[in-house]
């Protein structure tokens, strides 16, 4: 563990500890480091909201949303998060949105869309979008790797 950093799992396929939290296919982490509060991926449903609430995490306080890649099980929870954030303009939210540029490219499996369900034009209404294939430092201790 990096000193002063805390990672909380909001969404995962398995949740130990019985029925206290919900499990679902996908991934979402809440990372706190210094004054930074980062939502890394959003899962595929509103499970991140339910689990965050049960854990006492206020997602309205995030500084950044970082997406690892553009598959549904890492991005579709963003739709549910937007209703919670109560923001409508980039300059009002103050939340950074960081992802690889391919996050918005269509992804299909067996004829079914499995990619991001929100366009960059739509998300620009809410966030300052930054895409990069190169590493981006989120803080002095955290880096988004860009392309793996």
Q: What's the CATH code of the domain at 91?
A: 3.60.15.10
pTM value is 0.90
Say how far apart CA 21 and CA 135 lie, in whole Å.
33
For residue range 102-144, what is the model confidence (pLDDT) as tens digits? 999 999 999 999 999 999 998 988 888 999 999 999 888 889 9
CB 79 within 8 A of CB 111: no
Number of domains observed in the structure of the chain: 1
* CB-based contacts of 33, cutoff 8 Å, min separation 6: 2, 4, 5, 6, 139, 141, 142
- Range(s) of the domain holding residue 85: 5-144
Say how far apart CA 94 and CA 78 lie, in whole Å.
16
Residue 6 Cα distances to 47, 62, 93, 94, 124, angstroms: 20, 14, 23, 22, 29
């Amino acid at each position: 563990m990096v000193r002063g950093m805390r990672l909380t799992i909001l969404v995962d396929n398995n949740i130990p500890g019985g029925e206290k939290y919900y499990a679902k296919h996908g991934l979402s982490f809440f990372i706190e480091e210094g004054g930074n509060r980062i939502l890394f991926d959003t899962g595929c449903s509103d499970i991140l909201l339910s689990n965050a609430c049960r854990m006492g995490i206020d997602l309205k306080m995030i500084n950044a949303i970082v997406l690892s890649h553009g598959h549904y099980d890492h991005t579709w929870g963003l739709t549910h998060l937007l209703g919670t954030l109560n923001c409508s303009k980039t300059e009002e939210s103050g939340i950074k949105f960081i992802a690889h540029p391919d996050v918005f490219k269509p992804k299909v499996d067996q004829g079914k869309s499995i990619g991001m369900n929100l366009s960059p034009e739509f998300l620009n209404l809410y966030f300052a979008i930054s895409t990069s294939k190169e590493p981006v430092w989120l803080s002095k201790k955290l880096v988004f790797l860009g392309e793996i």
